[in-house]
Structure 1
Amino acid sequence: MRDAPDAVMLFAAGFGTRMGALTASRPKPLIKVAGKPLLDHALDLVAAYGPSRTVVNAHYLSDQIATHVAGRAIHISDEQPDILETGGGLRNALPLLGDGPVFTMNTDAVWAGPNPLAQLAAAWDPAQMDALLLCIPTDNAIGHAGPGDFVTDTAGRASRGPGAIYSGLQILKTDGLASIPQPAFSLNILWNRMLTAGRLHAVTYPGRWCDVGTPEGIALAESMLRDADV
């Protein structure tokens, strides 16, 4: 089994209800920011890093996701008839992802700064970690309210509490998924086990990041990208 992540799981199955009318006839990952679908913003970062396998899960209007990536070296994990949440969705895609740790990445955010996958890969230590989360300092997180999700100790071990915001990108060992009985579940179940064992770690991203979960987030992300180009 490989120790370094060489596969990426992109989460694109959600209903996008916070987007209102914008997702009435298209899935949220195909909403455009700065002229490019959110999914392609994520895929560009993945392609620049260069893993051997890329998987996109889909459920809501999944045919549009499949059509959008057709002709590219991307596998679709179509969750039908039921959506499986992050944990169940990842487990369902394991035959496409292969053994060993994987990147998992949300597709409803835009980044401005160094490649976040490369940063995570450089910090990954499988001897000490079962998961490594990329978090955003609150000052660098645009379009996201709240006190934050995780704090870290001097060794980089994470615990829950007001601090940095989870970006939706991580490296994760997938072994523990097999023992979770329910078909649809959140990856929080796996994180809680890792927290107890002291094997959930986090690092902070030095650039800026914008949450595009609502229509207002589109303009905020476009403004962030314009500023980054100046």
Structure 2
Amino acid sequence: ENPARWRGHLDKLLPRHKRSTLPFPALPAEQVPALLHKLDRMANPAARACELLILTATRSGEVCGARWEEFDLEGRVWTIPAQRMKAKRTHRVPLTEAMLEVLEQVRGNHRDFVFLNARRTGPLPGNALRRVLDAAGAENCVPHGFRSTFRTWAAEQTNHPREVCEMALAHTLESKVEAAYNRGDLLDKRRALMEEWSAFLGTFEREVVFKALSVSEPAGGE
């Protein structure tokens, strides 16, 4: 046997190496509504996909590979199958009015895929989201960073329990005992959280637009 073999030998004798994790570049929550306003003015599938990614706090692959069969628009639920999830567990996303508005803009473009690539032959590639963020002037963040933005906002500006916020991100509970007993997905409680997130983004956006119009008004208000 190889004395330098790692698996089943040295991995039992030596301490495990911990990988250092660096946070993804992310925007503060207060800057996201202005970005959404810019994206709303861009007429392409990548902009719509980026809007849905921000509103749902999901991952790039989950949004870009979204299929219409996953959406129950009447019941307002997006069910992402296990094979498309990082943790390989089915994840339900409660749909808010803002999310439905984004989906309505791309309905009818393809019978299977929600967001199409430029050739209209398949789903949108993940790097398209990064490109559209650059085009919108958000070069200092990455698509995955919006999950961090959402989680920080939920912790600092809401009273929703930690487990509700974590399940909104499809994170598994750290405690295996807790996970074993808590097998629900808290959909109704997460719906309230996502409604609050959408309201925060929508309200702030209107304020940004209002301020922009006020600055451009001529003296005397004429």
Same fold (TM over 0.5): no
Say which one has the larger Rg. Answer: 2
Q: Is the strand fraction higher in 1 or 2?
A: 1
Q: Is the helix fraction higher in 1 or 2?
A: 2
Q: TM-score, normalised by structure 1?
A: 0.26
